[in-house]
Amino acid sequence: MPGAGKSTIGIILAKFLSRDFLDTDVLIQVTEGRSLQDIIDKDGYLALRAIEERVLLDLHCKNHIIATGGSAVYSNAAMEYLKQEGIVVFLDVDIAILKKRLQDIHSRGLVKRPEQSLDDLYAERLCLYKKYADITVLSSNLSQENICDAIIKQLNQ
């Protein structure tokens, strides 16, 4: 979910594990030459989903920590590819905490239907996150370092 800490945790985890880091939201913006919100505003949220799927399926990198957009789970093909190539980690954060972290969901490039609330989005995505996760970390009450430690511990099992 947006606000779960994917990019922040990804950077810290990459540092801990001496790996490269890639944020697919940034990759999309660089590739497309515009912000995620601009893509949504001009082309619609489904266009951004299609771009995200294409970008994920075109990834060919080894030993990277990759932070995907929260909507990556809508693409079965992309998620199966990521699971085949690596380990998928779900940072499970309570909706109440996500709401506190997210100041303005209308300018963030959030992939959702126009009428969809954050609560609805959370309910819709939660089962998908759980479906594809190889590792789940209950992150609501953990520090960034503790989240990384929990991921590393599960990777080593």
Name the residue type at position 66.
I
For residue range 64-91, list pLDDT tens digits in order. Answer: 999 999 899 999 999 999 999 999 999 9
Using alpha carbons, select from 45, 25, 46 the residue that is nearest to residue 35: 25
For 100, residues 6+ apart whose C-beta sits below 8 A from its C-beta are none
- Length of the chain in terms of residues written: 157
Helix (H) or strand (E) holding 136: strand 135-138
Domain annotation for the chain: domains and CATH numbers = 6-155 (3.40.50.300)
For residue range 115-151, list pLDDT tens digits in order. Answer: 888 899 999 999 999 999 999 999 999 999 999 999 9
Measured CA angle at 65 (ends 105, 79), to 5 deg: 70
